[in-house]
Amino acid sequence: MDDLLNDFLAETAEILAEAGGAIVAWEADPGDRERLDAIFRFVHTIKGSSGFLSLPRVTALSHAAEDALDQVRRGNRPANAVLVTAILGIVDRLSLLCDALGNGGVEPAGDDADVIDALAFVSEEPAAPEPAEIRLRREDDLAAELQAWRSIRVPLPLLDSVMTGVTDIVLARNEFARMLREAGADPSTIATFDRLSDSIAAMRQSVSQMRMQRIDKLFAPLPRIVRDLAQDLGKKIAFSTSGGEVELDREMMENIRDPLIHIVRNAVDHGIEPLDQRVAAGKGVTAQLSVSARQSGNQIEIVVRDDGRGLSPDALVAKAVAAQVVTATEARGLTPRERLELIFRPGFSTAAKVTSISGRGVGMDIVKSNIEKIGGVVELRNEEGRGLTIILRVPMTLTIISGLMVRAAGQYFAIPRGAVREILLESSDSVRIDRVGGGELATVRGEQFPLLRLETILDRAVDADDDADDRAVVIVRPGQGQSYALSVAAIHDHEELVIKPAAPLIMATGLYAGTTLPDSGRPVLLLDVQGLLAAAGVDASEAGRNREEAAETEAAARGATQLLLFRDTNQRVRGVRLSVIERVEEVPALALFESAGAIQVQIGDDIFPVHAATLPEGHGAVKLLRLHDGRSVLCYPIEAVIDIVRMPDAMQPSAAPGLIAGVALIGGDPVELIDPFWLMEQYETARAAGAGPRRPLCRLADDADGWGENFLAPILRDAGYRVASDGDSGDETPDVLLCLSDEGDICANLGGDVPVIRLRASAAAAGADDDTVYRYDRQALLDALRRRVGGERR
């Protein structure tokens, strides 16, 4: 019984969270039948399970909601704000009851008449029932219930124990591999072991995927929050989410939830102006607020964008000075970006007065520190007067990060790869180390960094066994606007590391961010790159280091275009603008198929074109870059993602338009840059051609001087027509005849019952009844064609 109840509570909590969002979306578009059906199913499911568990209050509540929704489904009742508010009231009461059930195990006694009565249908004007709308769609309900069977609920501890088990297997495998190597086992044993090894690796992969959840879950409560808040404040907000299919580690999700809600609340409360101010600013009354997620590499980017008033750097400074966060002198020295980042200072609140909604003592400083705690960054993009965009960039999993293993004082340490900007040998020509007044300074290609020696910070002696030639400098960027050089005895390698928190008394040193067990089986400490800085007592802020600052501004001026470097399936290194990549997808090779001579891929319920000539061989996984132009998606198969770099200034453009826009030098190597415009164009045209019923045939008549073929035909083909000229002896009857000479007599006998459009050479029409079209009036020509055959694309 307890198990049943727990299952019910878990399921109901999930349903209620989802329902809140669905109801709000439905309110925005009451005609959305599917949404209504979904909400109906939600309450129907709760009613069903609660009846089984004999929870009378839950049953009564869900029954009332189901009843009201059914009336709407039958067209007997309109969907309006009153109804939606009442249904939300029921959802809230259900949540309350479930909380009580979870704590006490029994349904508390009480009366729900208040919320149920709110549902009562008050019809101001009897809405005429529309018989055409009476559809019950019971089959769909059934199908949806079947869907639920395809997943199961697993308690988290079980999942964690599977994870631990697999980690153990991996460690045992490594130990075993070492023993095999040392014992000099025969090849057949090694081959078998390798096979075992591969399946273990695959299993480890699957297990980490089990911990992943769609970010949808994180977004589900947001529509409700925005709606309620907007209603309280009398604001009109169109809220949208996208990228809900992006997956994120469950634990990570927990850590983002509160910061994200806080940011969204802030946007509604402070960012978006009251109606009158919006009107005065010449903006639409309805504000736009969007939350979107996308994956890039092993990072997830969550973007919260509003079109409100944005941040005013001057006002921020004034407030910061008033709140004694900075002194007036300090404030004068701040760069525009530093002024914006004042909102991250503890003790700062952007609201003129603390409101009940977002001013509850949680400031952006908490948001920032929470995100940084999990290895993420918060970024601001401000357009004063036009809106603010807040970007949260977090690693995909909390537990597995890519780490750089370094050695110091005779032992290994890990550094999060994400914080490493560059690695150089100390003996390299591009590094100069100076002793300046007791401190050390590393100059790398003209840029200066404070130098920290890892042994010194850890209070250990340099290991005598270390080779001085191995000493390396790691340029570390612990956060926005900070960087330093960390000197270590040697660089070991990169590894994917499972990070666990270290014991509190170790974390208290402030030097370590956790422990990890690499494949060697010996624990390694993960360094806290921010903590090292604090321990060394060095100011690593980049402000004032002139060259660096200049580079920053320059990058900002170029819109900080970033380039995703990847290895193509033919092993070539290529790059593409990061902004056109929606995410990197990894799909089984079997998801790709050939249809009508084109390669396509199935991802979830969608089918996208793939830029490939042949299907991939083998049954492994295929990595796809998902290009998105705002309307359609194209997948580009790649071998591996290499890095994300800043877009170089200079590019040698290709001679002719094609897949490669040009070649640029990145890190001294030539890299081919993909032209996403050309790429999308190929598939866009193909799609239009394939999707249309048939492209109409346009015959050019009397094209004596070739003007038709050379000038006109390309325009027509672009517009989606096929073109035949006098010379073509096709026997297909054209859909339209274009007569290129204004004499008329030549075309007269060609026409038959095919519509004819005559073109004239003079710009002026001959008379009012002249139905000819001037031959350089492109729009008139296309309009005329569309009128005759209706085959124009778009």
Partner 1 sequence: MMEKLYLVARIADTRVALRSRTIHSVVTVGQPVEVPAAPPHVAGLFALRSRVFTLIDPHVVVGLPPVAVAQGQRVIVVDVADHGYALIADEIEDVCFIEAPETRIAGRLSPGWARVADAMIEHRGASLLVVDPAQFVTLPVASAA
The footprint of partner 1 (CB under 8 A) covers: 164, 167-168, 171, 409, 411, 457-460, 500-506, 508-509, 511-512, 515-517, 521-525, 535
Closer of 517 and 757 to partner 1 (Cβ): 517
Do residues 331 and 321 make contact, with C-beta atoms less than 8 angstroms apart? yes
Closer of 46 and 524 to partner 1 (Cβ): 524
Six-digit token string for 488 = 């270590």
Q: How far is the CB of 160 from partner 1 (least distance, A)?
A: 12
Nearest to 484 by CA among 493, 475, 492, 473: 475
| Alpha helices per DSSP H over 268-363 | 275-280, 313-322, 328-332, 336-340
Closer of 76 and 456 to partner 1 (Cβ): 456
Do residues 596 and 614 make contact, with C-beta atoms less than 8 angstroms apart? no
Q: What are phi and psi of 659, to 5 degrees?
A: -60, -35
Closer of 503 and 763 to partner 1 (Cβ): 503
Closer of 202 and 508 to partner 1 (Cβ): 508
Closer of 173 and 646 to partner 1 (Cβ): 173
Closer of 29 and 160 to partner 1 (Cβ): 160
Q: How far is the CB of 569 from partner 1 (least distance, A)?
A: 36
Cα three-residue angle 310-312-315, rounded to 5 degrees: 140
Six-digit token string for 611 = 């830029």
HEC states along 149-216?
CCCCCCCHHHHHHHHHHHHHHHHHHHHHHHHHHHHCCCHHHHHHHHHHHHHHHHHHHHHHHHCEEECH
Closer of 295 and 515 to partner 1 (Cβ): 515
Q: How far is the CB of 517 from partner 1 (least distance, A)?
A: 5
Q: What are phi and psi of 541, to 5 degrees?
A: -70, 140
Q: Alpha-carbon distance 649 to 669, whole Å?
A: 14
Q: How far is the CB of 210 from partner 1 (least distance, A)?
A: 17
Task: Kindly give the interhelix angle for 250-266 and 364-373, rounded to the nearest 10 degrees.
Answer: 160
Closer of 521 and 706 to partner 1 (Cβ): 521
Q: How far is the CB of 520 from partner 1 (least distance, A)?
A: 10
Taking the CA atoms of residue 497, residue 501, residue 502 and residue 503 in that order, the dihedral angle to the nearest 10 degrees is: -160
Nearest to 408 by CA among 521, 491, 478, 498: 491
Around Cβ 486, how many Cβ atoms within 10 Å? 29
Closer of 507 and 621 to partner 1 (Cβ): 507
425: left (phi over 0), alpha (psi -120 to 50) or beta: beta
Q: Alpha-carbon distance 494 to 764, whole Å?
A: 73
**Length of the chain, in residues:** 794
Q: Alpha-carbon distance 457 to 461, whole Å?
A: 10
Six-digit token string for 753 = 């019952």
Q: How far is the CB of 382 from partner 1 (least distance, A)?
A: 40
Closer of 174 and 480 to partner 1 (Cβ): 174
Rg (CA), the chain: 32
| Alpha helices per DSSP H over 421-492 | 454-457
Q: How far is the CB of 184 from partner 1 (least distance, A)?
A: 24
Q: How far is the CB of 425 from partner 1 (least distance, A)?
A: 24
Q: How far is the CB of 487 from partner 1 (least distance, A)?
A: 15
Q: How far is the CB of 251 from partner 1 (least distance, A)?
A: 14
Q: Alpha-carbon distance 353 to 576, whole Å?
A: 46
Nearest to 428 by CA among 467, 464, 469: 469
Quote the DSSP letter at residue 579: G
Q: How far is the CB of 501 from partner 1 (least distance, A)?
A: 8
Q: How far is the CB of 397 from partner 1 (least distance, A)?
A: 17
Task: Return the amino acid letter for 378.
Answer: V
Closer of 164 and 428 to partner 1 (Cβ): 164
